[in-house]
Amino acid sequence: MVNLAADVEAIAPALVEWRRDFHRHPELGYEERRTQQVVRQFLESLGIEVRTCGKTGLRGVLRGGRPGRTVALRADMDALPVAEIADHDYQSQNPGLMHACGHDGHMAILMGTARVLAARRDTLPGTVVFLFQPSEENPPGGAPLMIEEGALDGVDSIFGLHLWQPLPTGIVGLRAGASMAQADEFEVTVHGRGGHASQPNVTVDPVVVASHIVVAAQTIVSRFVNPLEPAVVSFTTIHGGRIHNIIPDTVTMTGTVRTLDLDIQRAIKQRLGEVCEATCRLFGATAEYKYDDGYPPVINDAASVELVARAAARELGADKVRTIAPVMGGEDFAYYLQRVPGAFAKLGAGDGRPYPHHNARFDIDEKVLPIGVRLMIAVALEMLEPK
């Protein structure tokens, strides 16, 4: 495609406008009704076949003028329950909700991609499927429902990107194999026996037992998992008691486990349960242990990663492509990659933007938006008609 950069530059102001419109109107997972409506009308205006997929998601199909393979491109749509702190004029209009992860930018990029490709449909060698997916942030995620409702029907491979604050703007971060973690949640309730704080000897103090569990669990990663394997065990909430002079009956704790390997995930899940159970037994308490498996790890297909690297190097420059370390965050794009080959890339958007993802001051460098469109289009065309 000649002059891709010029075509995309021409819509750069629109990309910013679309992104800011989504930013002003954030919606949580499976509540993306306004978002869905905006995207649906836009795709329809381009003459793209579009249908509801995954409740508040959409599946658009652009058939090229020449026969060929089918590539799917995916953007996630949901915002987060974060109250934005902003000094710009596109601040969230929905109190307590914010696009604090960049999904507003993902949608703008995919809309720009659709617009440029739709204008060239006569020469397009195959089919492009646009997946606008709800509820990425909350397990079980929107991806499994999208797949159940036919998102991947006829699709040969799939690509997605995440705007990435830790990388400089325009850098394409890639990794073959396990590149994002399985992200699990757990809840531990310690049942003791409450009483007067002045007579701890006649109680079973769940605060003390819970504290021992937290400390003992620190040895799972440091003394149980092979040091060459990435793993995280974090306790993130502890709740128990109401007042200084009463030992409570129970303490409840929640947290997360992150792994890149299924065997290690299973081993940690079991070990953490044993730590809870054995520690409680030691002190005469009992443990209730619940564990929810989260999204599987994102496993990028090696050939697809090569394809993205080639396309990115050609369109954006070889100096823009980097191999990056795995990220211990979770991403439900993993489910698509269990069905069809593909790759999930990070696209740097961090220039002048010091606040991390999910922070109340998070923002992206909007200069990344046209770069994202060029990357998406270059990848789609490289997949449909390898050069």
Binding site for Ni ion (CB under 5 A): 101
Nearer to Ni ion, 101 or 247 (CB): 101
Residue 51 DSSP symbol? E
Question: What is the Cα–Cα distance from 322 to 174, expressed in whole angstroms?
Answer: 6
Q: DSSP per residue over 146-212, as a string? A: HHHTTTTTT-SEEEEEEEETTSPTT-EEE-SEEEE-EEEEEEEEEE-B-EETT-GGGSB-HHHHHHH
Question: What is the Cα–Cα distance from 126 to 306, expressed in whole angstroms?
Answer: 20
Q: Given the residues 31, 76, 136, 365, select the one marked as catalytic.
A: 136
Nearer to Ni ion, 269 or 357 (CB): 357
Q: Are strands 298-300 and 177-180 parallel, antiparallel or unpaired?
A: antiparallel
What's the min distance (Å) between Cβ of 312 and Ni ion? 20
What's the min distance (Å) between Cβ of 101 and Ni ion? 3
Nearest 5°: the CA angle 142, 147, 150 is: 130
CB 99 within 8 A of CB 92: yes
Question: What is the Cα–Cα distance from 124 to 145, expressed in whole angstroms?
Answer: 29
147 in helix, strand or coil?
Answer: helix
Nearer to Ni ion, 26 or 126 (CB): 26
End-to-end CA, the chain: 11
Q: How many helices (H) and strands (E) does the chain have?
A: 10, 16
- Active site (annotated) includes residue 184: no
Q: Given the residues 7, 31, 76, 78, select the one marked as catalytic.
A: 78
How many angstroms separate the most distant Cα atoms in the chain?
82
What's the min distance (Å) between Cβ of 75 and Ni ion? 11
The tokens for 53 are: 């997929």
Nearer to Ni ion, 137 or 156 (CB): 137
Within 10 angstroms of residue 3's Cβ, the number of other Cβ atoms is 9
User: Which residues make beta-bridge pairs with 233?
Assistant: 257
- Active site (annotated) includes residue 9: no
What's the min distance (Å) between Cβ of 240 and Ni ion? 32
Nearer to Ni ion, 253 or 298 (CB): 298
Report, in this order, helix, strand and coil percent for the chain, each rounded to 5. 35, 25, 35
The tokens for 40 are: 């649906």
Nearer to Ni ion, 120 or 357 (CB): 357
What's the min distance (Å) between Cβ of 107 and Ni ion? 12
379 in helix, strand or coil?
Answer: helix
What's the min distance (Å) between Cβ of 309 and Ni ion? 22
Nearer to Ni ion, 101 or 375 (CB): 101
The tokens for 345 are: 């890339």
Within 10 angstroms of residue 218's Cβ, the number of other Cβ atoms is 12
Phi, psi of 83 (to 5 degrees): -90, 115
Nearer to Ni ion, 97 or 253 (CB): 97
Q: Which residue is nearest to Ni ion (CB)?
A: 101
What's the min distance (Å) between Cβ of 297 and Ni ion? 16
What's the min distance (Å) between Cβ of 100 and Ni ion? 9
The tokens for 64 are: 């090229």
CB 380 within 8 A of CB 113: yes
Phi, psi of 164 (to 5 degrees): -135, 110
Task: Just list the catalytic residues.
Answer: 78, 136
